[in-house]
Amino acid sequence: MVRRIPPRRDRRLLAPLAALLVATVATSAAAQLSSRAVADAGPRDWAITGGMVHVGNGTVLDQATVVIRDGLIVSVEAGSDAPAGMGRLDAAGKHVYPGFITALSDLGLRAAAPQGRQAAGPGGGPSPPPPSRGPEDRPDTFSWRLAADDLQADDDRMAARRRAGFTSAVTAPRGGIVGGRAAFLNLAGDDARDLVLDPDVAVMVRLGTRGFRSFPGSAMGVIAYLRQLFMDASHYAEVWRMYEEDPAGLARPRYDRALAPLVPAAAGEQAVLLPAALDKEVRRMVGLAHEFGIRPVLYGGHEAGESAAFLAAHGVPILVNLNWPKADPEADPDAQVPLRTLRLRDRAPAGPAALAAAGVRFAFYMGEAPRSGPGPPGRRGGVPGGRGGSGDDLAAVRQAVERGLDREAALTALTMAPAEIFGVADRVGTLQAGRIANLVIADRDIFEEDAKVETVFVDGVIHRVDTDDEEETDGEETPGHEG
Amino acid sequence: MTRVGRNAFGIALALSSVCAVAAGQEEESWIIQNARIHTLAEGAEPIESGSILIRDGRIVEIGEDVTAPAGAAVIDAAGMDVYPGMMDSVSQLGLTEIGAISATVDTVELGEMNPHLRAATAIHPSSEHLPVARANGITHAVVAPGRLGGFGGGGAGISGQASIVHLDGWTVEEMDINASAGMVLTWPTLSTRSFNLATFSMDRRSFREAKEEYDRQVAELGEVLDAARRYAAAGEAGARERDIRLAALGPVVGGEMPLLILAQGEREIRGAVEFTKEQGVKMILLGGSEAWKVKELLVEHGIPVILGPTQRLPGEEDEAYDQPFTTPGELHDAGVTVAFATFGSSNSRLLPYEAGHAVGYGLPQEAAIRAITVVPAQLFGLAEDFGTLEEGKVANLIVVNGDPLEIRTEVEHVFVNGVPVSLDNRHQSLYERYRARPHPER
């Protein structure tokens, strides 16, 4: 389990960062190894027998056995042959799936700090960030931040998600127009460093504005700023390339922590997460991405039905916010709800079916409830709010299934598709030999109304879900040896 | 040159006013001849070619054969039409000059319960807006205190007494028609959104919270009226203690003075109607954007509506684009009494076009002109003296060269309180000034 450094980076350019990464990875690998060693005290190797195994790539094996060793899947084969000397879990009559992936979240991040905490004034009180006057002040840009560096393993919300069958998540840094880089993580581990599969899967962008006193104060300001930022990043890459090819006689370019991490994204080598709840926002964001050769991954997608053909034509993947637009129970019962809002509420859950039919790659996440009507577009994008309702996600996916989404396509959107979108499909997303042992076992087809998640494996570690009180018994229990 | 010209104009303006007032005091008389006279009297046809004799502020004689007395100034109105002067049923004329300069705005007092305020106290007789409105045929107006739906919302409560004034006079006393014509009540709005000026953003709250506040506000209004009743009873029983607030509400609870209730939404209108029925007080609905949704209710309870301004966008995203324009006709067809108002000062001159636009969208012409003349006079108990051209009535009238609801029609003469008034105004003087601006050689 050695963490690969993605070869796409220009190492010389990113030398300081690369050094940092190597250091992080080295510690992480060491920590992981040591935690494995401790875990070895209890049984970590399992044979899950007799279940209906959904591999995740379209293949379904009835009465198959999945063998897990050292946190990895060793084999997935029909029949019930299991090697001796390992825990045995009888899954007869049950359904076995790859662990679900929530494709955008803030899971594992500490509770949001009040704004401007770092810049606390002399009296100790928080002071707001200074107003910016234009793109030159790089407003709300934190491209150097890695969500992976801010993780904590004891976030209760992760356990709640595990109970719903989610074993992995993409976690993006909070706040900012460029919030930083999102991490791909597993949702269980003793140490925050154990969680991370890839600390740097995508650049997170929001279209937030800073009000009236600071640039940007409008949607057009944010978009103009993003354009400037990506132009700057391309230029930065260019001058550093020239300088490093032959520095003799050249003025040394200035290091810029805001631009350096954006170089792979600007070169189209790393995905950029862009908010797009409505169809017009989808078109706007794809236009922006194409202008700069960025590889976009959109999030929001509540008018996906309208956008499906367009997304398919441009080969752009989208993360669909499962927080379907619905009436606010606190809202004025007499208020006239505009037709377009009613239409959005009705059509949003039917969007995934349209995406599947058009052949668009899509995944799911649970974001903030979108706001309808006028307002900053960033809020409508449904940024991840990490509300940990355990059953919410699957209930929402079932709604999409009711509205025509094929079950296999729904499963793909929960497993293989997000793994592919974020470049980790060689490790998670399907039940295949050599993959990380992230599994979900449910008492029936997961898309049935009353399906219950009974057992979840994360990195090969068992987490039993007590279906009566939704409590989870964790980790290194002693399973009954049946063989 | 321009400076001299402006001064000369100012003096001329002042002189003409002086002459007019002086003339009135000398009981001079005027006769308008050869005019088509639209008396608007009940059941009367227009007089195709007639005369109106005006003396002592009143219409003395009107008809086809009126002999011009010796000494009467003659106005030949051949080819022209005479109508009653228009009445803006709710305005803020004289209360506000320039909205952005707070020193010139005197429309509201602090607090939610100000029945003791009287608009007439604050009216500025020299407001530039008065001659502007007058020049377009507005001769008298209701001047109402309060926010009247201005920026920032809120302002629920009783903002004071509306006053009716002639749009001419050196002093408020000279302008006075009825200083206490109605009690202005801005009905509380049940809204889950409010604009927070401190953060410059929309605040949201739950419907339950909003409803609780609304109910509390309505209950408080009821309590105030109850207190006014007890106060009146105590006064009759000989109590000596005075309370100017409760005293001011006496005519309201006594059924003599109408509550002028500003309410736009259907729910608010229903709430206001229910309230006034429970309280047994007279109600005139102001604003009434969604009055078209409650036509039957308004007919059933005989509640008139003072609409305006109707030249605006629809209130809801899915409303018909022309809903504000068709509302007057719809209400009229249903049998609701409709009047028009501008609710402002600088736009009071647009009153005839409020009515005219409604004609284009279904309101009968006759009803439209009555809605800015006879109807408001009746609503405010002035029908004895205003609203039609009949012998004995106050001579507030206009001489025009066409249909007064038509934008291209020009107002030729305006009589206010029996005397012709100058049609000079700030719009006109600015027009003259810039028309005469120096043109550099090209």
Using beta carbons and an 8 Å cutoff, which residues of A are at the interface with B? 211-212, 330-336, 338-340
Can you tell me the mean pLDDT for B38-50? 95
Res. A389 pLDDT band, cuts 50 70 90:
very low
Q: Give me the amino acid identity at B285.
A: L
Can you tell me the mean pLDDT for A29-34? 46
Reported as a single tens digit per residue, the pLDDT across A193-243 is 999 999 999 999 998 777 777 889 888 899 999 999 999 999 999 999 999
Select from B191, B207, B318 the Cβ nearest to the Cβ of A338: B318
Residue A340 corresponds to which tokens in the numbers above? 């377009």
Res. A303 pLDDT band, cuts 50 70 90:
very high
Using beta carbons and an 8 Å cutoff, which residues of B are at the interface with A? 190-192, 200, 206-208, 210, 266-267, 316-318
CA angle, corner B119, sides to B115 and B122, nearest 5? 125
Which superfamily does B86-386 belong to?
Answer: Metal-dependent hydrolases (3.20.20.140)
Measure Cα distances from B123 to A32, B128, B142 in Å.
82, 12, 11
* Contact across the interface for B267 and A333, Cβ inside 8 Å: no
Which of A88-92, A211-215, A479-483 has the highest mean predicted lDDT (pLDDT)?
A: A88-92
* Contact across the interface for A334 and B191, Cβ inside 8 Å: no
> CA torsion B246→B252→B254→B256, rounded to 10°?
140
Distance from CA of A373 to the nearest CA of B (A): 10
Residue A298 corresponds to which tokens in the numbers above? 């959109």
Q: Write down all domains in chain A, each with its CATH number in brackets.
A: 42-99+429-483 (2.30.40.10), 101-112+132-427 (3.20.20.140)
Helices (H), A57-211: 156-163, 192-195
Res. A328 pLDDT band, cuts 50 70 90:
confident
User: Nearest to residue B280, comparing CAs of B232, B222, B218, B335?
Assistant: B222
Can you tell me the mean pLDDT for A314-324? 96
The predicted structure's pLDDT at residue A96: 97
Mean pLDDT of chain A: 84
Res. A470 pLDDT band, cuts 50 70 90:
low
Can you tell me the mean pLDDT for B320-344? 97
Distance from CA of B183 to the nearest CA of A (A): 29
Preceding amide of B440 cis, omega within 30:
no
The predicted structure's pLDDT at residue A472: 58
The predicted structure's pLDDT at residue B149: 61
Helices (H), A141-273: 156-163, 192-195, 219-245, 263-266
Res. A186 pLDDT band, cuts 50 70 90:
very high
Mean pLDDT of chain B: 91
Reported as a single tens digit per residue, the pLDDT across B103-114 is 999 998 888 899
Report the distance separating Cα A49 and Cα A66, nearest Å. Answer: 7
- Residues of chain B with pLDDT > 70, as a percent, come to 92
Residue B283 has pLDDT above 70, yes or no: yes
**Pair A441, A428: CB distance under 8 Å:** no
Can you tell me the mean pLDDT for A454-468? 88
Residue B218 corresponds to which tokens in the numbers above? 């309505």
* Contact across the interface for A332 and B317, Cβ inside 8 Å: no
Can you tell me the mean pLDDT for B412-441? 95
Distance from CA of A334 to the nearest CA of B (A): 8
Distance from CA of A133 to the nearest CA of B (A): 20
Residue A359 corresponds to which tokens in the numbers above? 């052949």
Reported as a single tens digit per residue, the pLDDT across B149-178 is 654 445 789 999 999 999 999 999 999 999
Can you tell me the mean pLDDT for A305-315? 97
The predicted structure's pLDDT at residue A22: 47
The predicted structure's pLDDT at residue A122: 46
- Residues of chain A with pLDDT > 90, as a percent, come to 64
- The rounded Cα B439 to chain-centroid distance in angstroms is 41
Report the distance separating Cα B277 and Cα B254, nearest Å. Answer: 14
Res. B321 pLDDT band, cuts 50 70 90:
very high
* Contact across the interface for A330 and B192, Cβ inside 8 Å: yes
Res. A80 pLDDT band, cuts 50 70 90:
confident
Q: Could you give the count of Cα atoms lying within 13 Å of B247 in the half-sphere of its Cβ? A: 11
Res. A329 pLDDT band, cuts 50 70 90:
confident
Q: Which residues of B touch A211 (CB under 8 A)?
A: 200
Lowest mean pLDDT among A368-382, A393-407, B129-143: A368-382
Res. A123 pLDDT band, cuts 50 70 90:
very low
Residue A438 has pLDDT above 50, yes or no: yes
* Contact across the interface for A338 and B208, Cβ inside 8 Å: no
Can you tell me the mean pLDDT for B246-253? 97
Can you tell me the mean pLDDT for A377-385? 54
Topology of the domain covering B1-85+388-442: Urease, subunit C; domain 1 (2.30.40)
- Residues of chain B with pLDDT > 90, as a percent, come to 81
Residue A59 corresponds to which tokens in the numbers above? 């293949």
Residue A480 has pLDDT above 50, yes or no: no
Which site among B209, B212, B318 would you substitute to test the A interface, given the most A Cβ atoms closer than 10 Å to its Cβ?
B318
Q: What is the pTM of this model?
A: 0.81
Measure Cα distances from A23 to A11, A213, A255, A260, B117 in Å.
15, 41, 21, 18, 76
The predicted structure's pLDDT at residue A332: 86
**Helix (H) or strand (E) run with residue A458 in it:** strand A453-458
Res. B277 pLDDT band, cuts 50 70 90:
very high
Report the distance separating Cα A386 and Cα A158, nearest Å. Answer: 10
Distance from CA of B98 to the nearest CA of A (A): 26
The predicted structure's pLDDT at residue B152: 40
Res. B357 pLDDT band, cuts 50 70 90:
very high
The predicted structure's pLDDT at residue B247: 96
Lowest mean pLDDT among A305-314, B60-69, B401-410, B432-441: B432-441
**Helix (H) or strand (E) run with residue A312 in it:** helix A304-314
The predicted structure's pLDDT at residue A125: 47
Say whether the ipTM exceeds 0.85: no
Higher pLDDT, B255 or A23: B255
Can you tell me the mean pLDDT for A432-443? 96
* Contact across the interface for B192 and A212, Cβ inside 8 Å: no
Residue A345 corresponds to which tokens in the numbers above? 């509420």
Residue A19 has pLDDT above 70, yes or no: no
Coil/strand/helix, residue A307: helix
Select from A211, A212, A333 the Cβ nearest to the Cβ of B207: A333
DSSP state of A77: E
Say how many CB pairs under 8 Å bridge A and B.
Answer: 27
Q: Which residues of A touch B208 (CB under 8 A)?
A: 330
Residue A385 has pLDDT above 70, yes or no: no
Residue A27 has pLDDT above 70, yes or no: no
Select from B191, B208, B318 the Cβ nearest to the Cβ of A339: B318
Q: Which residue's structure tokens are 């088509």?
A: B36
Select from B210, B317, B318 the Cβ nearest to the Cβ of A332: B210
Can you tell me the mean pLDDT for A38-50? 72
Residue A453 corresponds to which tokens in the numbers above? 């998640």
Residue B87 has pLDDT above 90, yes or no: yes
Which site among B189, B191, B192 would you substitute to test the A interface, given the most A Cβ atoms closer than 10 Å to its Cβ?
B192
Residue B11 has pLDDT above 50, yes or no: no
Can you tell me the mean pLDDT for A324-335? 86
Res. B17 pLDDT band, cuts 50 70 90:
very low
The predicted structure's pLDDT at residue B20: 47
The predicted structure's pLDDT at residue B156: 86
Residue A474 has pLDDT above 80, yes or no: no
Residue A446 corresponds to which tokens in the numbers above? 């997961």
* Contact across the interface for A335 and B200, Cβ inside 8 Å: no
Q: Per residue in A77-108, is it b (16+ CB within 10 Å) or e — as a string?
A: eeebebeeebbbbebeebbbbbbbbbbbbbbb
As to burial, measured by CB atoms within 10 angstroms (0-12 exposed, 13-18 middle, 19+ buried), residue B137 is buried
Q: Which residues of B touch A338 (CB under 8 A)?
A: 316-318
Res. A381 pLDDT band, cuts 50 70 90:
low
- For chain B, domain boundaries: 1-85+388-442, 86-386
* Contact across the interface for A340 and B317, Cβ inside 8 Å: yes
The predicted structure's pLDDT at residue B196: 72
Select from A330, A334, A339 the Cβ nearest to the Cβ of B206: A330
The predicted structure's pLDDT at residue A25: 47
User: Nearest to residue B99, comparing CAs of B343, B349, B308?
Assistant: B343
Report the distance separating Cα B268 and Cα B160, nearest Å. Answer: 20
Distance from CA of A313 to the nearest CA of B (A): 33
The predicted structure's pLDDT at residue B1: 39
Reported as a single tens digit per residue, the pLDDT across A130-145 is 788 888 889 999 999 9
The predicted structure's pLDDT at residue B150: 53
The predicted structure's pLDDT at residue A10: 45
